[in-house]
Amino acid sequence: MKLWALVSVLLVGLLLLWAEGDIPSFGDASAPSYNYVADRYITDAYNDTATKNMVTAILADYRGYDTLGELTVIFTAGVVVLLLLRRGGRL
């Protein structure tokens, strides 16, 4: 069981290291996220969502899927702490 966990962690780590080469370098002005999406959000966010706060429009509307994942991470963290501390490690 522990061996399988180690193997899967190593595999995912190698996958991430392999994919790391495609990330644009830090502060790269020609990165896609600075050129296409950002302009679109700034010009269209209010017309699309009638929300004055652009951050909320991006967070809850354009990137709703991402925020759902974030919320799941928080929920999982709470459940794990509950399992480990409140129940003393008994699953």
Minimum CB separation of residue 47 from another protein in Å reads: 7
Give dist(CA 79, CA 89) in Å, integer: 12
- Dig out the tokens for 57 from the structure: 């429009």
Binding site for another protein (CB under 8 A): 47-53, 55-57, 59-61, 64-65, 67-68, 71-72, 74-75, 77-79, 81-82, 85-86
Minimum CB separation of residue 40 from another protein in Å reads: 15
Minimum CB separation of residue 42 from another protein in Å reads: 16
Say if residue 54 is exposed, middle or buried (CB neighbours under 10 Å; 0-12, 13-18, 19+).
middle
